């Protein structure tokens, strides 16, 4: 009887190990597929990641419009535990660390995570994650603040991520993010129907040459309903403004962004 039980136990263990290995195999395949998808349709964040990192360091839309506008919504960061969702090459992670925060940086792009690690070393915990699935490895109520700069519009449906943001935030924790302004994106709508969520295929000159990019446009109501459905309440909103340096370095963009919104900036809190 003892040998039969041992044999049965071995079979169960082998089966469990096989299941575990299969789950890990599927997880790796999913990440590889998603990374290939990201690089294929948004090569700025994969194949051209280093060029992108250099380009946004001091350009008009990122350095002189998006970052100063979002930073005005951030709370005091000293001693705070912060997660940077869609961290890119680490511009925000570096700022958060410099202000005394303990930072976890997450991005779908392996190239971006590599750049963050090269730039900031052990001062941040950085890892690759498909953010359409949220951040399943993070513990409940473990962060004071979540930030997400210009990443939400790459998700067809951000609800799963928003729900995970609520889950990982401490009571009174805040979520601050930026995304394309719905009114700006509407002019690129292939259907002409503002109320649809649609994929946009475009070319941007961020790298100094036309580079293909794909993202999703959605009406303001869809964005707000995703937040509410996830249990997040908006407490502050901004449409941003360019800083004064842009007036000298890029007067055309300064005039455009001073008279029409480009991005939307939201601060939310757990309900």
User: What count of Cα atoms within 13 Å lies in the side-chain half-sphere of residue 49?
Assistant: 22
Confidence of residue 3 (pLDDT cuts 50, 70, 90): very low
Please tell me whether the overall predicted TM-score, pTM, comes out greater than 0.95 for this model: no
C-alpha to C-alpha distances, 2 to 7, 13, 14, 16, 227, nearest whole angstrom: 9, 16, 18, 21, 57
Average confidence (pLDDT) over 214-218? 96
Phi/psi of residue 230, each to 5°? -85, -10
Interval 93-122: pLDDT, tens: 999 999 999 999 999 999 999 999 999 999
Q: Which tokens in the block code for residue 245?
A: 């340096």
Give Cα 220 distance to the centre of its chain.
Answer: 18
Q: How far apart are the first and last CA of the chain?
A: 58
Using the predicted structure, report yes or no on whether residue 11 has a pLDDT greater than 60. Answer: no
Structure tokens at 85: 């969702």
Question: In this predicted model, what pLDDT tens digit does every residue of 242-253 receive, in sequence order?
Answer: 999 999 999 999
Helices (H), 212-250: 220-229, 244-249
What's residue 4's pLDDT?
43
CA proximity to 226, closest of 191, 177, 171, 261: 177
Question: What are the start-end ranges of the H helices in 47-88?
Answer: 49-55, 60-61, 67-71
* pLDDT > 60? residue 130: yes
Q: What is the largest CA-CA distance in the chain?
A: 86
């Amino acid at each position: 009887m003892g040998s039969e039980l041992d044999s049965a136990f071995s079979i169960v263990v082998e089966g469990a190990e096989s299941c575990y290995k299969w789950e890990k195999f599927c997880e790796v395949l999913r990440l590889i597929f998603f990374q290939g998808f990201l690089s294929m349709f948004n090569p700025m964040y994969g194949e051209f990641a280093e060029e992108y990192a250099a380009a946004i360091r001091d350009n008009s839309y990122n350095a002189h419009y998006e970052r100063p506008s979002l930073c005005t919504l951030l709370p005091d960061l000293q001693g705070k535990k912060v997660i940077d969702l869609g961290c890119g090459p680490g511009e925000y992670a570096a700022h958060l660390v410099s202000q005394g925060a303990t930072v976890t940086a997450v991005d779908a792009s392996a190239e971006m995570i590599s750049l963050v690690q090269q730039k900031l070393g052990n001062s941040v915990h950085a890892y690759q994650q498909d953010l359409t699935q949220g951040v399943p490895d993070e513990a409940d109520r473990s962060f004071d603040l979540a930030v997400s700069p210009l990443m939400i519009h790459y998700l067809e449906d951000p609800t799963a991520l928003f729900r995970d943001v609520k889950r990982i935030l401490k009571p009174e924790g805040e979520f601050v993010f930026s995304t394309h302004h719905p009114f700006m994106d509407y002019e690129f709508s292939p259907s002409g129907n503002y109320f649809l969520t649609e994929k946009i295929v475009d070319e941007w000159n961020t790298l100094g040459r036309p580079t293909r990019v794909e993202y999703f446009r959605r009406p303001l109501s869809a964005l707000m309903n995703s937040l509410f459905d996830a249990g997040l309440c908006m407490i502050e909103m901004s449409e941003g403004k360019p800083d004064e340096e842009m007036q000298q370095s890029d007067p055309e963009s300064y005039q455009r962004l001073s008279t029409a919104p480009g991005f939307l900036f939201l601060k939310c809190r757990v309900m």
